[in-house]
């Protein structure tokens, strides 16, 4: 596990992590863990283990996956190349468990439920014929497996996974009020059922941030790994 400094943006599409609720307790994941973006938003407890740089009085810290640490085939597997699992933590998170000058330390880790406040956050881009939605701040499993959209003049439309935590639909939805349905990758349960009702009137190139309380069809039981 390494530390890094810049945690703004990234392969999950979360944008500015400070203003979008993730703070600095974040980490990139190696491609083995990143799972083509389906691991975006998942949470992990991390403990520094077996190195002199580890802080002995700190049990662990919790981070959210917000980016991909791509393979570097010019180096050995310590760089996070498959099949090795690897975390590239934001510097403030790394400094909670180890001395920053160590650069890389061995760790133990496990998946844990994500604790979030403020509800789901949607960021929209697109036009009257195409809609791209970034999903942020999901609690519980933290991840999204699939997403649907429904207009007032359409049935449910299954959206395609674009990249990271974004989903898109190629459909004529301009001027319609929209509802969304999402399912968790971890629990396979519906975590939001018709949770957003928003009318698109902006035409082309709409960019809207929309925040709403988290609604559950069922309460997912997140098993600690």
Which region, left, alpha or beta, applies to residue 103 given φ > 0 means left and ψ of -120 to 50 means alpha? left
Average pLDDT of adjacent 10-residue blocks, the chain of 225 residues: 52 89 92 94 95 91 94 74 89 94 92 87 83 89 92 92 94 84 85 58 48 43 30
Per-residue model confidence (pLDDT) at position 83: 85
Residue with tokens 């393979």: 71
* In contact, 179 and 26? CB cutoff 8 Å: no
| Helix, coil or strand: residue 116 | coil
Cα(192)–Cα(108) distance, rounded to whole angstroms?
32
Cα(35)–Cα(136) distance, rounded to whole angstroms?
17
Say which CATH class 2-112 falls into: mainly beta
Q: Where in the chain is the domain with CATH 2.60.40.760?
A: 120-212
pTM: 0.83
CATH architecture of 120-212: Sandwich (2.60)
Residue with tokens 């810290």: 61
């Amino acid at each position: 596990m390494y530390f890094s400094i810049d945690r703004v943006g990234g392969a999950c599409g979360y944008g500015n992590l400070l203003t979008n609720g993730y703070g600095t307790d974040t980490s990139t994941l190696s491609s083995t863990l990143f799972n083509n973006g389906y691991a975006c938003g998942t949470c992990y407890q991390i403990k520094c283990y077996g190195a002199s740089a580890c802080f002995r009085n700190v049990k662990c810290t919790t981070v959210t996956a917000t980016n991909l640490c791509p393979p570097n085939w010019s180096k050995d597997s310590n760089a996070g190349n498959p099949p090795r699992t690897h975390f590239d933590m934001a510097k403030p998170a790394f400094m909670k468990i180890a001395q920053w000058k160590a650069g890389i330390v061995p760790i133990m880790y496990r998946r844990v439920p994500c604790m979030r406040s403020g509800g789901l956050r949607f960021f929209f881009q697109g036009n009257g014929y195409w809609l791209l939605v970034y999903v942020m701040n999901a609690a519980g499993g933290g991840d999204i497996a699939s997403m649907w959209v429904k207009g007032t003049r359409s049935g449910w439309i299954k959206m395609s996974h674009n990249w990271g935590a974004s989903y898109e639909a190629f459909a004529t939805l301009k001027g319609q009020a929209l509802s969304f349905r999402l399912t968790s990758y971890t629990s396979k349960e519906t975590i939001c059922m018709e949770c957003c009702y928003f009318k698109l009137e902006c035409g082309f190139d709409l960019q809207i941030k929309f925040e709403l309380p988290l609604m559950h069809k069922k309460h997912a039981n997140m098993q600690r790994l």
